[in-house]
Structure 1
Amino acid sequence: MEEFVYLIRPNRSNFIETMTQEEANLMDDHFQYLKDLLAEEKLIMAGPCLDGAFGICVFKSDSWENAEAIMNHDPAVSNGIMTSELHKYRVSLIQGK
């Protein structure tokens, strides 16, 4: 397994302040998606910047293609409310390990 990180960025700068109910529902779906990845032991960590600029998802996958699929199936990405960017990544230090 390799490690990857994807960054997501809202499709507008004031997303948090102007989120519609539909977008809020999609963000709930996004959070559940990440919780499911955690339960499957694929997710290492995830979270947003508190200023809303971007979020990150650090996870494990067996290939670049599967990593892209994981990123692209994130409801925030697949529904176009967030743009995404995928990179190979290595967790060098992490608390508790």
Structure 2
Amino acid sequence: MKKLQFLYQLKLIPSMLDQSNWTEKENAIVQHHFEVLQNLQEEGKLLLAGRTLNTDPMGIVILEVDTEKEAIELMNNDPAVKEGLMEAQLFPYRVALYKR
């Protein structure tokens, strides 16, 4: 079965755009979020993850999985999403070009 690709976009909730609102709790959530993404990469399910560096940042996660249901579950179980720190939106996606 051919793998499917999905992109999920992450946006911080508005109150977290101000760095002064961050506590150890939010920092721990983001650290866990990063660790989960690293695990997905090791499992071969994560193609790319990153964020923009502007004042209203967004992140993207590109997955390669068996089903849309799996992509939705991975997105919804992302610690940053699950803990309400970020909002996420899923899109079907296909990588066309990339640097090897």
User: Which consecutive unaligned segments of at least 5 residues does structure 2 have?
Assistant: none
Asked whether the 8 Å contact 1:43–1:58 carries over to 2, the reply is yes
Using the alignment, how far apart are the partners of 1:11 and 1:22 within structure 2?
Answer: 15
Partner of 2:9: 7
Alignment identity in percent? 33
Q: Name the TM-score, length of structure 2 as normaliser.
A: 0.90
Residue correspondences, number: 96
Q: Name the TM-score, length of structure 1 as normaliser.
A: 0.93
Give yes or no for the alignment of 1:44 onto 2:59: no
CA RMSD of aligned residues (A): 1.3
User: Which consecutive unaligned segments of at least 5 residues does structure 1 have?
Assistant: none
Using the alignment, how far apart are the partners of 2:18 and 2:34 within structure 1?
Answer: 15
Partner of 2:79: 75
Runs (4+) of structure 1 exceeding 3 A deviation are none
Using the alignment, how far apart are the partners of 2:7 and 2:92 within structure 1?
Answer: 6
